[in-house]
Amino acid sequence: MSGAVAHINRIGTANPPHRVHDAFVRFVAATLPDDRTRRLFGRMVDRSGIGERYSFLEPITLPDGTVTDRENFYGTGDWPPTGARMARYEKDAPALALAAIEALDPDIAQAGITHLVVASCTGFMAPGLDQVIIARAGLDPGIERTVVGYMGCYAAVNSLRLAHHIVRSTPDARVLVVTLELCTLHFQRTGNLDKLLSMLLFGDGAAAALRSEEHTSELQSPM
């Protein structure tokens, strides 16, 4: 067993352009059946500690006060089927992943990346997000790639653990880890307060990290 220690050398993050937390709170409040439930929801929002959440869906308020979005994902009519949600994932996920990678290292193509680990559970696309990242970021198409799919919130931890084991077994490895979710594509119409409160936790975003044995920045966190 190698004695190599895997460090998180750098981290980059990216969010979509639209702030949606306040709009979502107003959207939900308008759907609740009575003042008591709305007050309870409001108290839980205040106690959540959530300040901002982001989405590719731009919220708007109609003249009658109805909160929706410009593409009518959450309008008064039928909400879009899975196919439309997946098409939007395919459109927006690669750009968000690349923005996180750019924040990590603008010259990632020259960083000697040997492995790519991608975690996501909010969309399918073909070619896969990992393949698109390699092509658009200019990475070596021969690098080893792994997709960690459909593990939900703890996928990032498993992705970093996988990168840790790669570095321990191959000390000269430089592992790019990308985690990405577009949760706002998948909110469901419901009057169940527990479900609405759970939706309050999720937004869209991406993060990228570089794991290797060497120390390349101030962020040196062995795991």
- 166 by Cβ neighbours in 10 Å (0-12 / 13-18 / 19+) ranks as buried
Specify whether 183 is catalytic: no
Instruction: Given the residues 109, 153, 201, 219, select the one marked as catalytic.
Output: 153
Tally of CA atoms within 13 A in the half-sphere of 56 that contains its CB: 20
Amino acid at 197: L
Tally of CA atoms within 13 A in the half-sphere of 195 that contains its CB: 9
- What is the DSSP-derived secondary structure letter of residue 176? E
Answer for the pair 134, 141: CB distance below 8 angstroms, yes or no: yes
Closest CA to 209 of 104, 114, 81: 104
Known catalytic residues are: 153
